[in-house]
Structure 1
Amino acid sequence: MTSSTSNKTLGVAAIGYAFMGKAHSNAWRNVASFFDVPAFEQKVLVGRDPVQVAEAAAKYGWSESATDWRTVLQRGDIHIVDICAPGWMHAEIAIAALEAGKHVLVEKPLANTLAEAEAMTAAAQAARAKGVQSMVGFNYRRVPALTLARELIAEGRLGTIRHVRASYLQDWLSNAESPMTWRLRKETAGSGALGDIASHAIDQIQHLTGQRVMEVTGSLRTFVAERQGPDGPEEVTVDDAVWATLGMSGEISASVEASRVATGRKNSLKLEIYGSKGALLFDLENLNELGFLDATAPMREQGFRRILVNEPEHPYMGAWWPQGHVIGWEHTFTHQIRDFLAAIDAGTPPSPSFEEGLAIQRVLDAVEESASNKSTIQTVR
């Protein structure tokens, strides 16, 4: 496979058509309408139920549907594989796709276990040497306000970063009567709030600050130990909530909290970043806004000011609507596809790479080990 794809229409296959499959399909369907990207075609949507996947393919803009991802990987007209399936399927599909010479985008977290993540990363490294690219879908990196936050930090506007607080709170499991799902079984989900949403918070801490998590002290809690399954009550084998303190590679003090039983919080990823010259505030439930305090201004003028991130000068925003017309959660996936296609076209490794996904997986693994042993665990080995 050549490093440039400018003269070839890329065939795309997506695996999975539920929540993430719908979000990714929406991005594939719309990205070329707003961004200049290499030519591609939504070839095939893959899922286990032939009737449901066919209906989803027609609704989401795919040319056809299929139920066997292995057969799809053998097709010469498929160049990109977008894996939106549950975590327990990530490793097998991604490794097979990379070995078949397909570019791979896989939803976060990279895998359900550290061993799977390591195997996927090794496959990605081998494929990259042949011009085959891979990326992990931490879509919140593509929130324009968070991209702006990273730019401000890199420009030194906050001075020396001292303290970061990250929380990701949802309430969709706060009702004890909510039924059992695959996300509450360790064998299919890997972990609960830890991998599902704390992984986003941990990725943001590392991505925004440019520092790595070196050690963690963590705690996990399952508040509802049993939920109704299709055949009766089932044990919940993952966490409902997680807390962790993070030792960073610099001198930053960082903390993470995540919960899927935080009553009243729908999808609140909050970030507070405090430096010697300023501070930033962000909440995903107000994703077009960034709070910024300039501590170098006279004390009588200091205070957090609201930046409405929708000017053409702001990251990604020039492709969308006139000033004052905000964008939403779904646009982060469109930005993600845009950046992934641009990297494939340029023949350059996109970010976050599988190596970056593996680094997150090591932190998740360390939090679980710390919670189990009630100890502090090193993440760099």
Structure 2
Amino acid sequence: MEQHEAHQSQGRLGVGMIGYAFMGAAHSQAWRVAPRFFDLPLTPEMTVVAGRTRPAVEEAAARLGWASVETDWRAVLRRDDVDLVDVCTPGDTHAEIAIAALEAGKHVLCEKPLANSVAEAEDMVRAADAAAARGVRAMVGFTYRRVPAVALARQLVAEGRLGTVRHVRAQYLQDWIADPQAPLSWRLDRATAGSGALGDIGAHIVDLTQFITGERITGVGGLLETFVKERPLATEFSGLHGAAGSGTGPVTVDDAALFLARFEGGAVGSFEATRFAWGRKNAIRIEINGSLGSLAFDFEDMNVLHLFDATEDARVAGFRRIVVTEPEHPYIGAWWPAGHGLGYEHGFVHQVVDLVRAIGAGEQPTPSFADGLQVQRVLDAVERSAGDESRWTSVATGASPHAPSPTAAPIHQVATTGTKES
């Protein structure tokens, strides 16, 4: 019996986390809290956190609640007390770490976007498929799916409350680099981040709209723009571009991404992702229009979902404001009395809950690496379209985002083929 199977038979799930910055802190909170509010088949144990610099990772471990530290992520994979590896590093390391962890027999939770390229994502899906045959699970962290109002939106669409989906509108607006003097960081370096607003935040609204509608995007027409081409060097970049602490360095990713899209069921969509929208801190706005009604969501009012029922008497019809805090709503029953809203961190807790329950049941958690690959293909199609003067670029059709398809991808398509998933 493998060591992680022995742990699971004892009701434990040893977790090793790679990376401990922004996402690492959010994931740590989730691993701490989930077993205290939800009934789980396995009890997560915060076994080890890994980072490159020992004093920094030791401080993070003490602050975030991890039992031990490593300065080499490979050492985490060799540990018998680690059953699951949580990848919270920049995108350029996702493929290497996740594939090695799966081959070592560890379950994997990998932050989004899944990889920095379609080819890397395809490699990760192949590794996940091989691991699944041995009972080892992999999931990508599109956490906003776990916001209760978003999960309710998915339920309402699946129940047919909106009828046939016709229009999709999605925005993700931030302003944290709108100031041209904001320093260069790894998120503005293509070699590390893969892309800019498109992959960092655009990936979320691609996943959210496919999740809520239950339909894949099949074609896109895109536009990318970099407004600020040079930025002051941050300490982490000084060694790459010149004397430490002086000068500027190039921004090699997009600052804003806009694209039109078609969905496999015939709906049309418009998408906007930018980190240059002054005053918008984390505005994720989704609106779905169907033949029988509409729904609308804004993460800056995250406990509310707006629903319009077009079948109602026109004299009293209007958007209904649903405060998604009732125990009947997704995830809410484990938390507070009705009306006591949840926050950003709760989505990460729900992610842990769904992942641990799937592992305990021997089931594939969602979103899978195949789902992450589908999103990666959409991002790739947007980039290719934008580079071809916004020419319409197909995304290959086939199975749903949750089912791999053997269909080959033609040129300028984002495929869900071979070893791909949602």
TM-score range, shorter chain: over 0.9
Q: In the alignment, is residue 49 of structure 1 matched against residue 53 of structure 2?
A: yes
Q: In the alignment, is residue 344 of structure 1 matched against residue 348 of structure 2?
A: no
SS at match of 2:297: strand
Task: Supply the RMSD in Å over aligned alpha carbons.
Answer: 1.2
Aligned mates of 1:159, 1:247 — CA distance in 2: 17
Q: CA deviation at 1:40?
A: 2.3
Q: Which runs of 4+ in 1 moved over 2 A?
A: 1-8
Q: Which runs of 5+ in 1 are unaligned?
A: none
Letter in 2 for 1:370: S
Q: Which of 12, 16, 20 lines up with 2:19 in the alignment?
A: 16
Q: In the alignment, is residue 290 of structure 1 matched against residue 305 of structure 2?
A: yes
Q: Which of 264, 274, 278 lines up with 2:293 in the alignment?
A: 278
Q: CA deviation at 1:215?
A: 1.0
**Are 1:15 and 1:81, in contact at CA under 8 Å, matched by a contact in 2?**
yes
Aligned mates of 1:155, 1:119 — CA distance in 2: 35
Q: Which of 238, 241, 252 lines up with 2:267 in the alignment?
A: 252
**Are 2:171 and 2:205, in contact at CA under 8 Å, matched by a contact in 1?**
yes
**Are 2:7 and 2:14, in contact at CA under 8 Å, matched by a contact in 1?**
no
**Are 1:220 and 1:239, in contact at CA under 8 Å, matched by a contact in 2?**
yes
Aligned mates of 2:54, 2:386 — CA distance in 1: 41
- Compare relative contact order (CA 8 Å, sep 6+) and give the higher one, 1 or 2: 1
Letter in 1 for 2:12: T
**Are 2:7 and 2:13, in contact at CA under 8 Å, matched by a contact in 1?**
no
Letter in 2 for 1:349: Q
Q: TM-score, normalised by structure 2?
A: 0.89
Q: CA deviation at 1:368?
A: 0.5
Aligned mates of 1:118, 1:154 — CA distance in 2: 29
Aligned mates of 1:79, 1:161 — CA distance in 2: 41
SS at match of 2:381: helix
> Alpha-carbon deviations, 1:310-336, whole Å to 9, x = none?
010110000000111111010000000
**Are 1:193 and 1:258, in contact at CA under 8 Å, matched by a contact in 2?**
yes
The alignment of Structure 1 onto Structure 2 pairs a total of residues equal to 381
**Are 1:164 and 1:271, in contact at CA under 8 Å, matched by a contact in 2?**
yes
Q: CA deviation at 1:5?
A: 3.0
Q: In the alignment, is residue 378 of structure 1 matched against residue 381 of structure 2?
A: no
**Are 1:6 and 1:345, in contact at CA under 8 Å, matched by a contact in 2?**
no
SS at match of 1:280: strand
SS at match of 1:296: coil
SS at match of 2:218: strand
**Are 1:88 and 1:187, in contact at CA under 8 Å, matched by a contact in 2?**
yes
Q: Which of 213, 235, 238 lines up with 2:217 in the alignment?
A: 213
Q: CA deviation at 1:4?
A: 10
Aligned mates of 1:250, 1:153 — CA distance in 2: 13
**Are 1:45 and 1:62, in contact at CA under 8 Å, matched by a contact in 2?**
yes
Aligned mates of 2:380, 2:77 — CA distance in 1: 31
Aligned mates of 1:55, 1:13 — CA distance in 2: 16
Aligned mates of 1:284, 1:48 — CA distance in 2: 34
Q: Which runs of 5+ in 2 are unaligned?
A: 397-408, 410-422
SS at match of 1:300: coil
Q: Which of 2, 6, 10 lines up with 1:7 in the alignment?
A: 10
Q: In the alignment, is residue 227 of structure 1 matched against residue 234 of structure 2?
A: no
Aligned counterpart, 1:317: 332
Aligned mates of 1:7, 1:292 — CA distance in 2: 45
Q: CA deviation at 1:251?
A: 1.0
Query: Identity of paired residues, percent?
Result: 56
